[in-house]
Amino acid sequence: MKKSNFHFVRQINEISVLRIIRDEGPISRSEVARSMGVSKVVIGGIVKRLLETNILFEIGKGLSTIQGGRRPVMLEFNANAGLAVGIEVHLHRAKILITNMNADIIKEGSVNFTDNTHPELILKRIVKAIKKLVGDDEKMQSILGVGLALPGLMDYQQGAIRISHSLKNWEGFHLRSYLEDALDTKVYIENDVKTITLGEYHWGAGQEAKNVVYIWLGEGIGAGIIINGDIYRGVTASAGEVGYTEISARAVNRQNFPILYQGQNRFGEILTTSNLENSVQKSAKSTSTPTSLNGNEIDLASISSAAKNNDTLALNALMEFGQILGYLTISVINLFNPELIIMGGPIIDKCPLVLEEAKRRAKKDVLLVPAEIVEIRPGALKNRAGTLGAVGMVLQDLFKPPIVNLATYRSLILPE
């Protein structure tokens, strides 16, 4: 990492002091010492080093104790001493978010591209956009790290995409090392749905839970899994690929779901935006049911609008979608037994009926106890979930884990 970046992180005590001041400040040195159970001399030395880095402020004097004596100098965490960058790459667009160390948004932007076959060219444009958003070289030096969210399976060791359907030409390209060289800072990569899950867990709908499954619905379907506060990737980083779960014909068949079911074998083939749109288009042409969608261009927005106006076809299609999602949700509940399931993506955002039907179906599961206990709710961060999750990859390394990994922090130390 660059020399101006946080090389003060020498041992676990520095991190503990920072977290206490960040979460409880303004706070005095004595209060920090009592909270940590160490001497004021130790805390004094740590605080002196942190003040020199500008990550802490002395903001004046507090109140005297009951016993009297000198008023203590109060300390406050300076969240603006460092920046975090989050990047979320899609098929034809990359979104960029710049935040301070409290994840407060400072700037955001995007890079659009029609041809995604040359990752290096696109990454150059992303780097240029980041520099423009940050503003100047001095501020660039304060970037603590970059989080990069991508569709597909990740090769974390190589810092690359292993497999991606939408970014096929990016497979094997060393994304992490490229960005680390270009921006001179640490880079973290993660699957896009897992990144969205981290965003919702840290700053969205999942903040109060420890065991969470996030289900994303759009052009595909995927899930992110948090177990005891940690993202679960699986041996091959493919945990959460719920779209490959096979459909049980006893529950999901043509008789029960005449609009959406066309003989699909997997949930990922039926629970997609394109299948919803195509199925409604087909039904609008063949059904005798009156519908405002007949003869119009049908997309998710028009289906949502029609449903709000009580269009029978649109309502029936969304109810089918939600009920099928409910069957998948039952499998997720019984497999992971989470306290919370979050659902997000354009279908959930635009069509709340889908979530309602999914919850109703899931709560009827035969295995009642986990189904009764689990809470199912929509995501809270909407379009910012991915970029905030990418920022979270940077910030959680410093502040979020309840157990600090010393190896991580020692890697930040520069030679004396």
Q: CA torsion angle for 198, 203, 206, 210 (degrees, to 10)?
A: 70
More confident residue, 110 or 48: 110
User: Span 9-29, mean pLDDT?
Assistant: 79
Give domain 206-380's CATH number out of 3.40.50.1820, 3.30.420.40, 3.40.1280.10, 3.20.10.10.
Answer: 3.30.420.40
For residue 5, pLDDT over 60 is answered with no
DSSP H helical segments within 5-161, as ranges? 12-24, 29-36, 40-52, 119-134, 137-140
For residue 68, pLDDT over 60 is answered with no
Please give the single-letter amino acid code of residue 186. Answer: K
pLDDT at 61: 76
For residue 8, pLDDT over 70 is answered with no
pLDDT tens-digit series, residues 353-385: 999 999 999 988 756 777 788 999 999 999 999
Q: How far apart are CA 103 and CA 97, in angstroms?
A: 10
For residue 141, pLDDT over 80 is answered with yes
In this prediction, residue 405 has a pLDDT band, given cuts at 50, 70 and 90, of very low
Q: What is the CATH number of domain 12-80?
A: 1.10.10.10
Is CATH 3.30.420.40 correct for 82-200+385-406? yes
Where do the structural domains in the chain lie, given as residue ranges?
Answer: 12-80, 82-200+385-406, 206-380
pLDDT at 36: 85
Q: How far apart are CA 53 and CA 141, in angstroms?
A: 13
DSSP H helical segments within 257-367, as ranges? 267-270, 273-286, 300-308, 312-336, 346-350, 352-362
pLDDT tens-digit series, residues 168-218: 999 999 999 999 999 999 999 999 999 999 999 999 999 989 999 999 999
Q: What is the pTM of this model?
A: 0.86
pLDDT tens-digit series, residues 286-313: 877 788 887 778 999 999 999 999 999 9
Residues forming beta bridges with residue 76, ordered by sequence position: 57
Using CA atoms, how far residue 17 sits from 5, 78, 202, 232, 313, in Å, is 18, 13, 21, 29, 59
pLDDT tens-digit series, residues 155-166: 999 999 999 999
Answer left, alpha or beta for residue 130, where phi above 0 means left and psi between -120 and 50 means alpha.
alpha
Q: How far apart are CA 140 and CA 185, in angstroms?
A: 10
Domains 82-200+385-406 and 206-380 share a fold: yes
In this prediction, residue 69 has a pLDDT band, given cuts at 50, 70 and 90, of low
